[in-house]
Amino acid sequence: MNKAKTAPFETAEFLATAGAGRRVLRLKAKEHLFSQGSSADSVFYIQSGRAKLTVISGRGKEATITLLAAGDFAGEESLSAVGGLRMSTATAIVASVVLEIDREQMLHVLHDEHLFSGFFLKFMLMRGVRTQADLVDQLFNSSERRLARMLLLMANFGKPGEPQTVIPRVTQETLAEMIGTTRSRVSFFMNRFRKLGFIEYNGRIRVHKSLLNVVLHDQLPEDNANKPNISGHPSG
C-alpha cells in the first residue's frame, strides 16, 4: 500500500493564509496588534500595510522605537518564555493585513520546518543589524542625517526590489520621537530637504534617491558649522 504523500511545507503559503494556530487580522489605521503589558502569547507577521512599535515609560511618556513594514515580524518576544508580557505596543499606521500565529504553532513550525526556521533566523539577524545601526546612528549622527536615514528606510531603499518612493503617512511628531529631536527641528529639516529637491512633501512624502547623498556622503550645500563635532576638540 502506498502511503499518502505529505505536501512540502511552503513558507510563503504559511505566512499568507489562515490555518491551524494562525488567523488573518484586518486592521484599520490606529488599531493595535498588541499592547504593552498584555500577555505575549503570539507572533505577528505583517502581510501588507505599516505599523509602529511604541513604549510608554513609568512617567507616561510615549516613544516610537521602530516602524514595521510588510514582511516584518512583531511580538517575537513571546517565543522566549511562557507567561511573558509585551514590552511595547504595536499599532497599525495605515490599513493593514496581519497574520497572528499562536506561540505553540510558531515554535512547532520553527522546530519542524528548517526552511522556515532559516527564513525566520535571517529576519532576526537582519533586525539585530538594524538595531545596531540605529544605535550607532543615534550616538554619532546629527539629527538631520538621522531623519534622512529614517525616510530612506521607510521608502525601502537598500532592500531587494524597487524602493517605495511614496511612504505611508507619518506625523512629524512620530519622526521626531524616532530620531530623538523636536517636531520643530523635523519641520525645519523637511522643508530644507524639499527645497533641495531630496523629497516632495505635500501631505504625503515622496523620497528621491538623491537623499542618499545626505547619509552616504554627508553632502549638503553649506559649511560644517551645524554638524556635530565628535573629535572632542573645539572647531576652529
Task: Give all domains of the chain, ordered by start, each with its CATH number.
Answer: 12-134 (2.60.120.10), 141-216 (1.10.10.10)
Give the residue from 215, 216, 186 showing the smallest Cα distance to 201: 186
Single pTM value for the model: 0.75
> What pLDDT was estimated at residue 179?
87
> What pLDDT was estimated at residue 45?
98
| Rounded (5°) CA angle 150-193-206 | 65
Grid coordinates representing 210? 538623491
pLDDT digits (tens, 9 = 90+) for 28-87: 999 999 999 999 999 999 999 989 899 998 888 888 888 898 999 999 999 987 778 999
Instruction: Return the residue matching grid coordinates 536615514.
Output: 149
pLDDT digits (tens, 9 = 90+) for 144-161: 989 998 898 888 776 666
Of 26 and 215, the structure prediction assigns the larger pLDDT to 26
